[in-house]
Amino acid sequence: MAYIMEIVETSKQPVLAVRTTTAVENLPNIVGPIYDEIVGYIMANKQEPLGPAFIAYYNMDMENLDIKIGFPVATALPGNDRIEAGFIPAGKKATTFHKGSYGDVGAAYQALSEYLVKAGYEATGVAYEYYYNSPGEVPDSELLTKIELLLR
């Protein structure tokens, strides 16, 4: 698959999210309920999610992923005991889109990593995946995921 990659500069983005650790095979069991919890909290505060759902990956240990599951919001909201108020940091990011199964997203990461080496950039190790649709809405072949790597 051919990927279109670019370097972008973004502003700080307020989010509401839940940070947790899990094994990769457990992601399908926890992601939906956490998204539902966050959306309920946002709507109870008379707002709506500003953009697509995301997962931030702070490591790539498939048995013990350190992740943040959340949504961007238009204005900063307070968190609660479980949901954290925070930000996606401002700065340079390398991005690409992957169309297809989540199981095949590794190819996009590989292409983006190769692009960074050639372009002379270094990733911080933090990756964001934004989900523009879900397996409940479209076939796996039509899933659209934006991958964003934070840069040093």
pLDDT in tens, 11-58: 999 999 999 999 999 999 999 999 999 999 999 999 999 999 999 999
Q: Which two tokens stand for residue 115?
A: 């692009």
Per-residue pLDDT of 46-91, as tens digits, reads 999 999 999 999 999 999 999 999 999 999 999 999 999 999 999 9
What pLDDT shows up at residue 90? 97
Helix, coil or strand: residue 132: coil
Percentage, residues of the chain above pLDDT 70: 100
Domains of the chain in sequence order: 6-151 (3.20.80.10)
What pLDDT shows up at residue 41? 97
The pTM for the full model equals: 0.95
Per-residue pLDDT of 102-150, as tens digits, reads 999 999 999 999 999 999 999 999 999 999 999 989 999 999 999 999 9
Nearest partner of 92 among 59, 141, 126, judged by Cα = 126
CA angle at 2 for the pair 115 and 129, rounded to the nearest 5°: 70
What pLDDT shows up at residue 1? 76
Q: Which two tokens stand for residue 92?
A: 């340079």
